[in-house]
Amino acid sequence: MTPGVQRADAGGPGRRLVWQDEFAGPAGTFPDRASWSAELGAGGWGNGELQTYTDAAANVALDGEGHLVLSARAGGDGAWTSARITTSGRRTVRAGLVEVRARVPSGVGIWPAAWTLGQDIEQVGWPRCGEMDVIESVGDARVALQTAHGPRGYFARWQSGPVTPVGVPLSAAFHT
């Protein structure tokens, strides 16, 4: 299976594939702009993140072999850059199976993730819009996290999901 491709048989018989991205395109280019846009900026993004998000090819680009590569880079001034991309406003899935095939980095301070947010986030905010983390891994990439987040009361939130130890670190190979 090509990285970035959702299996057509995903979820069993009777399920219809509604979208997939094979990340086809020349090396060094941004993924298909009909599906993806970059979120640009800095300032913590709710998690105290230190990097500035860019759409520079050094931070987000296809590798020409069916992979999307997101990279964090240290600048000479000690500042970090990385990339954060979204399908918001371009792709919406109401129901179904969401898969990600990825090889995630590992290391101190690393927190790679792929997640879905409710399309009404601009109107109702987070966590009221809902969030489902398809994959997250922190640190040494030996644990896969999948979490659902939602509202509880006016300012509180809830979350629930498995913490799954993995035999082969998520950084060592592609995993679906």
Using the structure block, give the residue that is written with the tokens 């101190």: 108
Active site residue 122: no
φ/ψ of residue 144, rounded to 5: -100, 135
Q: What is the largest CA-CA distance in the chain?
A: 54
CA 104/CA 70 separation, integer angstroms: 10
Q: Catalytic: which of 22, 49, 99, 131?
A: 131
**Helix or strand or coil: residue 117?**
strand
Cis peptide bond upstream of 3, omega within 30: no
Name 150's bridge partners: 158
Alpha-carbon torsion, ordered 119, 62, 42, 104, to 10 deg: 80
Q: Which residues contact 92 (CB under 8 A, 6 or more apart)?
A: 119
Tokens in use for 21? 């991205």
Decide if 131 is catalytic: yes
Catalogue the active-site residues.
131, 136
